[in-house]
Structure 1
Amino acid sequence: MAIQAVNHTQKIMTTAEITACHSHVLHRVTLFTPALCHVRKGSKMLQWGERVLTVGKESLILFPAGIELKIANTPETGKYHSDMVYLTQDILRDFRQNHVGSLAPGSWDSLSVPFDTHTRLMWDSLLQAMRNQSPHPLQVHIVQGLLLALHLAGNAGVLLRNRHDPLAEQIEQIFLTDPAREWSVDDVAQQIYMSGSSLRRRLALEDKSFRSILEGVRMGCALHSLQTTELSVGQIANESGYASASRFTARFRQRFGLVPSALRHAMRHP
């Protein structure tokens, strides 16, 4: 059940609840904006590279933007339940500016942070403020407090790292404004004031391709819609840029390791 639908083009934080009744595994999941997650019931397994981490309700998960993960959600007594808060680059940029020179370095080993008193207090306050639709400046003030609590414990660095693929990130953000659009290289190049050939060349230096970025954005948006809305698979396919639901299903399975209907079944049926 979604608390507040995530719109990646907004410059505000958003939050969602993700629930499931059956265990399921998702391959090659990439978040396009940093996020925080707390598993209220059940557990979440994360794998990136050779590293594997299993997290329960006593910890807060820190998702940096742009890393590819394998994720497994496992219910407890028939129920998996987690809260997600999607941050914005503006919020993180402001925090870096306010605390420049004093940030803990962070590491990929700190994707999961055990709750301490201050972090738990700020996390609960943030969720309550967002659920109550408190004024946006108040929500920003609280999330800055949460980041500060993480920083004081030496755990904020992983969220605050700069992406290593700035051009790819810019292109992702353009695609997110309209994932279903038939984007061309020239369309995007014009928006970022460079030629199509320069765009391709710079992406090649980052070991990226135009089509793979577009496919990743479409799949990421589709995954989020499946987990947080009641839209049909056909509607989600259409909104994600796929005219054929069968083609969408094949792409989804190829990327995440299961078909959309299997994910919906895992989430809905005890």
Structure 2
Amino acid sequence: MAEARVAHGLPLRVRQTETDLLFADVEWGSPALVRVLQGQKQLRRADESLAARPGELLYLPAGTRVDVRNVPAQGAYEAEGVILSFDLARYLPPGAEARERQQVCKLRVAEHEELDAALSRCLEAFERGLPAAVQRSRLLELVAWLGEAGIDPFVAASDLRVRLKRMLGERPAHPWRLPEVARQLGMSDDTLQRHLRREGTGFQQLLLEIRMDHALMLLWTTERPLAVVAEQSGYDSPSRFAERFRDRFGVLPSELRRRR
């Protein structure tokens, strides 16, 4: 199985014409900054809701679990943005100040023009296929402007679930096994299983969530063939992948691709 490792960042471009697609309990494995171009992006969790419109940026920290609905205006919803890899953190200067605001937040472009411009430069670097070093430098500039807005995308998290999401999400197609993961975390198999039970989940369930959320992101942001999406999400069998995806999101991958 070919394994795809997440690069320093991934461009996010979504265009959707359907109004009846609601993705429930989606978890963002990596921090992301989204710019809405047309329509609305609606997020809901518990009793909270948030809607981003054109002229607004939406920051989603790693570990965010929300229901997502993209609402078209004049026949279409369109958004673009960047998903940041935690690998970028090792290029930051040591002792960088940790910020406090790490929840989902909405930023007005008119008040954060430099951040918006940095996002445009990142997207340009991806679109033009500029060298990896140039892409990385532009992503680091984006991280710096996020810092000016009081946001640290790579703030350390003590939550074991978030730590696992970060580690496994960097290599979603890898044939992860619990002993290997426990060893990398410096704990025994039993200790890891006990921690996961306390958080109401198990290792296989967590791995399934990571792979399905990764597949959803690939279907939203790329034109890769469905067989490639399946493989890069940890599945040799496209039919098995499609079944798992439908169980998770209520729609087949092929149907989601047609509705874009």
Match of 2:149 in 1: 150
What CA distance in whole angstroms lies between the structure 2 residues aligned with 1:63 and 1:19?
19
Secondary structure at 1:66's aligned position in 2?
Answer: coil
Question: CA offset at residue 58 of structure 1?
Answer: 2.0
- Does the CA-based 8 Å contact 1:42-1:80 persist in structure 2? yes
**In the TM superposition, what whole-angstrom CA distance separates every residue of 1:227-251 from its partner, at most 9, and x where no partner exists?**
1222333432233233443443332
1:72 aligns with 2:69: yes
**In the TM superposition, what whole-angstrom CA distance separates every residue of 1:129-180 from its partner, at most 9, and x where no partner exists?**
44233724631452144214412xxxx37x5654342x33443344335433
Secondary structure at 1:207's aligned position in 2?
Answer: coil
Structure 1, unaligned stretches of length 5 or more?
1-6
Match of 2:169 in 1: 176
1:20 aligns with 2:20: no
Q: State the one-letter code of the partner of 1:99.
A: E
What CA distance in whole angstroms lies between the structure 1 residues aligned with 2:163 and 2:49?
29
Secondary structure at 1:265's aligned position in 2?
Answer: helix
**In the TM superposition, what whole-angstrom CA distance separates every residue of 1:21-44 from its partner, at most 9, and x where no partner exists?**
222221121111111101111111
- Which residue, out of 191, 204, 214, partners 1:211? 204
Q: State the one-letter code of the partner of 1:106.
A: R
CA RMSD in angstroms comes to 2.9
Q: Indicate the larger mover: 67-76 or 224-233.
A: 224-233
From the superposition, tell whether residues 192 and 106 of structure 1 become closer, same or farther in structure 2 (CA, over 3 Å).
Answer: closer
- Does the CA-based 8 Å contact 2:196-2:203 persist in structure 1? yes
1:197 aligns with 2:190: yes
What CA distance in whole angstroms lies between the structure 2 residues aligned with 1:179 and 1:145?
28
- Which residue, out of 100, 103, 106, partners 2:101? 106
**Under a length normalisation based on structure 1, what TM-score does the superposition of the two structures give?**
0.78
Q: State the one-letter code of the partner of 1:76.
A: A
- Does the CA-based 8 Å contact 2:71-2:77 persist in structure 1? yes
From the superposition, tell whether residues 71 and 189 of structure 1 become closer, same or farther in structure 2 (CA, over 3 Å).
Answer: same
- Which residue, out of 247, 254, 265, partners 2:258? 265
**In the TM superposition, what whole-angstrom CA distance separates every residue of 1:103-128 from its partner, at most 9, and x where no partner exists?**
4x4374x62222234x1232223322
Secondary structure at 1:249's aligned position in 2?
Answer: helix
Question: CA offset at residue 72 of structure 1?
Answer: 0.6
Question: CA offset at residue 191 of structure 1?
Answer: 3.0
Identity, in percent, stands at 26
**Under a length normalisation based on structure 2, what TM-score does the superposition of the two structures give?**
0.81
Question: CA offset at residue 261 of structure 1?
Answer: 2.5
**In the TM superposition, what whole-angstrom CA distance separates every residue of 1:206-232 from its partner, at most 9, and x where no partner exists?**
333201210011101111121122233
Structure 2, unaligned stretches of length 5 or more?
none
What CA distance in whole angstroms lies between the structure 1 residues aligned with 2:163 and 2:144?
28
What CA distance in whole angstroms lies between the structure 2 residues aligned with 1:88 and 1:179?
13
From the superposition, tell whether residues 265 and 130 of structure 1 become closer, same or farther in structure 2 (CA, over 3 Å).
Answer: closer
Q: State the one-letter code of the partner of 2:16.
A: A
Question: CA offset at residue 49 of structure 1?
Answer: 1.4
Count of residues in Structure 1 that have an aligned counterpart in Structure 2: 249
From the superposition, tell whether residues 266 and 62 of structure 1 become closer, same or farther in structure 2 (CA, over 3 Å).
Answer: same
Secondary structure at 2:149's aligned position in 1?
Answer: helix
- Does the CA-based 8 Å contact 1:25-1:257 persist in structure 2? no
What CA distance in whole angstroms lies between the structure 2 residues aligned with 1:16 and 1:77?
21
